[in-house]
Amino acid sequence: GEHVYKVDEQVVELLRERGKLLSCGKITHSYAHCWRTKTPLIYRATPQWFIGMHQNGLLDKAKEAIKDVVWHPSWGQARIEAMLENSPDWCISRQRTWGVPIALFVHKETGEIHPNTPALIEAVAKRVEEGGIDAWYDLDAEELLGTDAGQYNKVTDTLDVWFDSGVTHSAVLDAREQLRSPADLYLEGSDQHRGWFQSSLKTAIAIKGNAPYKAVLTHGFTVDADGRKMSKSLGNVMSPQQVVNDLGADVLRLWVAATDFSGEMSVSDEILKRTADSYRRIRNTARFLLSNLDGFDPETDLVAIDEMLALDQWAVRRADKLQTEILAAYENYQFHHIYQKLHNFCVTDMGGFYLNIIKDRQYTCQKDSLARRSAQSAIYHIAEAFVRWIAPILSFTADEIWSYLPGERSSSVFLQEWWPLPKVEEGGITDTDWALISKARNAVNKVLEGKKEVGIQKTLEAEVCLYADTELESALAKLGDELRFVLITSDAQVKPISEAGHTETTEMEGLKLATEKTSYGKCVRCWHHRPDVGTSTEHPELCGRCVDNVEGAGEQRLYA
pLDDT for the residue numbered 549? 97
- Domain count for the chain: 3
262: in domain: no
Average pLDDT over residues 379-398: 98
The answer on pLDDT for 140 being more than 90 is: yes
* Residue 455 located in a structural domain: yes
Do residues 327 and 364 both lie within one domain? Answer: yes
**Mean pLDDT for the chain?**
95
Q: Are residues 212 and 78 in the same domain?
A: yes
Is position 22 within any domain?
Answer: no
State which of 218, 233, 253 marks the end of a domain.
Answer: 218
**DSSP letter (8 states) at residue 11:** H
**87 and 205 fall within a common domain:** yes
The residue-averaged pLDDT of 247-260 equals 96
The answer to whether residues 472 and 381 belong to one domain is no
477 falls within a domain: yes
Range of the structural domain that residue 479 is part of: 443-519
| Structure confidence at residue 367 (pLDDT) | 96
pLDDT band at 523 (very low <50, low <70, confident <90, very high): very high
Sign of CA dihedral 473, 478, 480, 482: negative
Report the C-alpha gap between 95 and 45 in whole angstroms.
Answer: 12
Residue 1 has pLDDT above 80, yes or no: no
Instruction: Identify the CATH number of the domain in which residue 97 sits.
Output: 3.40.50.620
pLDDT band at 122 (very low <50, low <70, confident <90, very high): very high
State the pTM of this model: 0.84
Which pLDDT tens digit goes with each residue over 187-222? 999 889 999 999 999 999 999 999 999 999 999 989
**CATH code for the domain in which residue 484 is found:** 3.30.2320.20
Q: Is the dihedral of CA 362, 366, 372, 373 positive or negative?
A: positive
Q: Are 137 and 84 in contact (CB under 8 A)?
A: no
Is 71 in the same domain as 196?
A: yes
CB-based contacts of 358, cutoff 8 Å, min separation 6: 292, 311, 312, 375, 379, 560
Evaluate whether residue 14 is within a structural domain.
no
Q: Which own/partner pairs from 340-345 qualify as long-range (CB within 8 Å, at least 24 positions apart)?
A: 340/258, 342/282, 342/389, 342/390, 343/278, 343/281, 343/282, 345/318, 345/319
Asked whether residue 324 is assigned to any structural domain, the reply reads yes
Tell me the mean pLDDT in the region 542-549: 97
Strand 504-505 versus strand 511-517 pairing type? antiparallel
| Pairing mode of beta strands 105-107, 50-51 | unpaired
- Phi and psi, residue 189, nearest 5°: -75, 165
Q: Are 429 and 483 in contact (CB under 8 A)?
A: no
- Kindly state whether residues 88 and 179 are assigned to the same domain: yes
Q: In the predicted model, what is the mean pLDDT of residues 110-134?
A: 94
Is the distance from CB of 257 to CB of 372 less than 8 angstroms? Answer: no
Q: Which of 218, 245, 263 is the last residue of a domain?
A: 218
pLDDT given for residue 234 in this prediction: 82
Is the pLDDT score of 103 beyond 90? yes
Contacts of 355 (CB under 8 A, 6+ apart): 285, 288
Residues 190 and 317 in one domain: no
30 in a structural domain: no
What was the pLDDT predicted at 86?
Answer: 84
Q: What is the pLDDT of residue 417?
A: 96
Structural domain contains residue 421: no
Residue 434: pLDDT over 90: yes
* Co-location of 453 and 366 in the same domain: no
Instruction: Let me know whether 507 and 377 are in one domain.
Output: no
DSSP state of 415: G
pLDDT band at 226, cuts 50/70/90? confident
Q: What CATH number has the domain bearing residue 302?
A: 1.10.730.20
Clarify whether residues 210 and 305 are in a common domain: no
Examine the domain organization and report whether 349 and 452 are in the same domain.
Answer: no
pLDDT-derived band at 6, boundaries 50, 70, 90: confident
Same structural domain for residues 181 and 84? yes
CA 386 – CA 392 distance, rounded (Å): 11
Please tell me what DSSP assigns to residue 114: P
Q: What is the mean pLDDT of residues 390-418?
A: 96
Q: What pLDDT band is residue 98 in, cutting at 50, 70 and 90?
A: confident
